[in-house]
Structure 1
Amino acid sequence: MSVFSLSIMPYITASIVIFVAQLMSDRVKEFAASENGKIKLEQIKRLLTVFLVFTQSMTLSSILLSQNVNGEPLATVDGFTFYVSTFLSLLTGTFIVVWLANIMTFVGFGAGTSLIIMFGILSSMPSNFFTIASMVDAGSATVVSVAALIAIILFSFVMVIYFENAGRRIATLKNDKYGGSRPSYVTFKANPIGMMPPIFAAIVISMFVTTASAFSSLMPDLIVQVKNRLVGGTPEFIVLFSILTFCFGFALKGTMLNPKKAANGLMMSGQVIRSLRVGAETERYLGRLFQALTFIACCYLVILCTIPEMINAYLGIPFYLGGTSILIMVSTASEMRKNIFGMMEGNAYKKVGQAFLK
């Protein structure tokens, strides 16, 4: 087995726990704003990572020790030694990946954790293409179904690029230096809640499925049947995933989008929404706007994350590239592109400055 089996996912899960704590508690958010608070939260995050690796390694060790091949045990070492060696190996692999992610963040390519996830998704693409090609050669998949799958994936990429760069413009009047006002506008992102709602929804479903699988002998038959139905592409999975995405989306809206704060920000910058009075009327309008944007964003996230899985399930082609993966890849690649071009422009200006000084 690979020592990188868990990859960076335990660290990502710990980061999500800290992120939720910041959303739920103003005290934690204020603590994270200070330099000392960032260091403390990073230490807590790594301790949570160790705990998550420990629990996952214990579960994995128990499963491996219970399996055999032709009557021979799968694990060459048993007992306490196997548990310890598995835990240390997986912990080492996870923190090597975390170190690589921090290096990429420090260099300036973008968020290192997101880049690691993107590279992990891309690393599985060649094997998927070879599998699909062998299925077409064997006759278990048709060229039409493969073309339909590729078309849906390309459409998903275009939808993410368009929607993540879209915005809702609001016409305003802005004070000028001559004491009058001039037409202006303020733009709000079409997806103000980001990509966290479907990720939270997927984590909740996967935690339920994992727990139900680990303790299937102790679970009622109804729970086991529900667990077996929560597979990508099934109606039960799509309904539960959609409900959880909407719930997490509106929960994040309540913590990330504050109409009163946005209205005060417009007033402080000298901007007034046309045909609206400053104060309560502007606040009510922004509240309705944020509700509408959140609803549209949740619909977009549900469509993006469920359509590819439905297509995969009904076409019978094992192409493991869901909507969440597409969203992460496009967002991360766009951010990396901006950072690389920014670094190139900075180096160009630096060379011009050095030539001028010479």
Structure 2
Amino acid sequence: MAAAQGTSLGSLGKLTELRQRIFFVLAALIVFRLGSFIPVPGVNPEAMTSLIEQGGGLMNMFNMFSGGSLARFSVFALGVVPYISASIVVQMMGAVIPSLQQLRKEGEAGRRKMTMYTRFGTVGLAAFQAFGIAVALQKQVASGGAPVVYTPGFGFIMASIVGLTAGTMFLMWLGEQITERGIGNGISLLIFAGIVSGLPGAVAHTLTMTNNGELSVLKLILVFALILAVTAFVVYMERAQRRITVNYARRSGGQQAYMNQTSHLPLKINMAGVIPPIFASSLLMFPATAASWLGSGNQSRWLQELISQLSPGSPLYDIVFAVLVISFAFFYTAIVFNSQETADNLKRSGALIPGIRPGRATGEYIDGVMTRLTGIGAVYLVLVCLVPSFMQSFWHVPFYFGGTSLLIVVVVVMDFTAQVQAHLVSHQYESLLKKSNLRRN
């Protein structure tokens, strides 16, 4: 009786832990939303909002990623983009520089050093971007003629650098805390919260347009059908795998003999996740930042023309974006998945792929399969990211979620759901083990 009561208390404690993790995630997201309303001093909020609305698709996209923080010029205006850029750069360098390659093989100590380098890089990128934004805002005037910055000068620049850099570092820390004490990837959840925060306003605006006759009911149904179709396609592709048959040789030990066993090596179609679209969007933002630094004089006329050609919906933007997404998909997959290392692990465990020699030949075979899968995954990312943009550009459909945003939302929700289910399965597995032990005793 006492043992059964101890088992039930243990189960209750496990469920309480899951509940606490979920509550921690919700509390962290509330803090994130509250912080997005803390402004950096010295900026005219109405003029800043008007400037963002005039800034085009790229500015609106990054404002959506930050949950509207950029339009309010809050301390979270930069969001987690500097951290993502720094982490990707460090991972890329880790695949090229021998000393960093050695760090990746040192286990927990090596990961800590890589994390430290990422944090240093985040501080540098955040300060650099904050300086560029502060300098650019001092030259900007809203449509009504009101200046964006009340008192331009050194004081405003320093306040912007300190405020925006501190905000980014706080978000980085908050994301790490969510990953450690909550459920899911903290940085992805923060981006998810920023995107979803604007959804109620977008839905209300769309319904208002329908009531006023600005948007036909047919187009509204088309938008809803497109959201469902893209979501279903993303879920299908993210769960899609290529399973390579693996045979384990017959092994004998003492009086026991183990027969041949067959298993599978699962390879995802999209190993890179949402990293390629995010990084491609970040790179396409650099020309706009450079143009804002130089101003609108003759010396930047060619750059202004480039900005207009690189705005979302233009053919040049679509081509460059597609090339960048495909390139980063292959590069990032090569970083996170080592085919030769996988082949060596199979060889050490006594496993082989039917018809393929162990060792180097197996590595080349897996690499060829992974290359074809990555090509399919890269095309899938391009389609998901650009099809909604085509709808917006050519049919003028008010599709609030761009393809990149919808991809992030669906993938983050899938990852969060999978981790919650893993916690529940772990709880049930431990309960079954305890019950079996009680029955034996």
Give the shorter-chain TM-score range: 0.7 to 0.9
Check if 1:6 corresponds to 2:78.
Answer: yes
Structure 1 partner of 2:207: 133
Cα deviation, 1:232-258, whole Å, max 9, x if unaligned, reads: 222211111111222222333444444
Distance 2:115 2:356 in 1: 44
Distance 1:267 1:30, change over 3 A: same
The offset of 1:302, in angstroms, is 0.9
Other structure's SS at 2:95 match: helix
Contact 1:170-1:273 within 8 A present in 2 as well: yes
Instruction: Specify which of 277, 282, 289 is matched with residue 369 of structure 2.
Output: 289
Instruction: Specify which of 287, 297, 309 is matched with residue 208 of structure 1.
Output: 287
Structure 2 partner of 1:55: 128
Distance 1:225 1:68 in 2: 20
Structure 1 partner of 2:156: 82
Contact 1:212-1:219 within 8 A present in 2 as well: no
Distance 2:164 2:364 in 1: 51
Structure 2 partner of 1:161: 235
Alignment TM-score, normalising by the size of structure 1: 0.87
Q: What is the 5 A alignment of 1:167-178?
A: 167-177=241-251, 178=257
Check if 1:191 corresponds to 2:265.
Answer: no
Contact 1:149-1:312 within 8 A present in 2 as well: no
The offset of 1:296, in angstroms, is 0.8
Distance 2:208 2:223 in 1: 16
Instruction: Specify which of 229, 238, 249 is matched with residue 318 of structure 2.
Output: 238
Distance 1:73 1:146 in 2: 38
Cα deviation, 1:131-188, whole Å, max 9, x if unaligned, reads: 2122222322222222222222221111111111111122332223436534433222
Distance 1:106 1:72, change over 3 A: same
The offset of 1:122, in angstroms, is 0.7
Check if 1:307 corresponds to 2:307.
Answer: no
Check if 1:30 corresponds to 2:97.
Answer: no
Instruction: Specify which of 116, 128, 149 is matched with residue 43 of structure 1.
Output: 116
The offset of 1:219, in angstroms, is 5.3
Structure 2 partner of 1:317: 397
124-133 vs 79-88, greater mean Cα deviation: 79-88
Structure 2 partner of 1:16: 88
Structure 2 partner of 1:251: 331
Distance 1:196 1:94, change over 3 A: closer
Counterpart residue type for residue 225 of structure 1: E
Distance 2:264 2:141 in 1: 67
Check if 1:144 corresponds to 2:218.
Answer: yes
Cα deviation, 1:194-227, whole Å, max 9, x if unaligned, reads: 3322222222222233323433546565543232
Structure 2 partner of 1:124: 198
Contact 1:263-1:279 within 8 A present in 2 as well: yes
Distance 1:106 1:240 in 2: 37
Distance 1:258 1:341, change over 3 A: closer
Distance 1:339 1:273 in 2: 31
The offset of 1:65, in angstroms, is 2.6
Distance 1:350 1:259 in 2: 34
Cα deviation, 1:275-311, whole Å, max 9, x if unaligned, reads: 3333454344323212211111111111111111111
Distance 2:175 2:411 in 1: 17
Contact 1:173-1:271 within 8 A present in 2 as well: yes
Distance 1:186 1:40, change over 3 A: closer
276-285 vs 110-119, greater mean Cα deviation: 276-285
Structure 1 partner of 2:168: 94
44-53 vs 104-113, greater mean Cα deviation: 44-53
Contact 1:67-1:74 within 8 A present in 2 as well: yes
Distance 1:3 1:197, change over 3 A: closer
Distance 2:132 2:92 in 1: 26
Distance 1:172 1:123, change over 3 A: same
Distance 2:300 2:151 in 1: 34
The offset of 1:228, in angstroms, is 0.5
Cα deviation, 1:33-80, whole Å, max 9, x if unaligned, reads: 444443443333333323223223223323333345666644333322
Alignment TM-score, normalising by the size of structure 2: 0.72
**Structure 1: unaligned runs, 5 residues or longer:** none
**Aligned residue-pair number:** 355
Distance 1:76 1:224 in 2: 26
The offset of 1:7, in angstroms, is 2.2
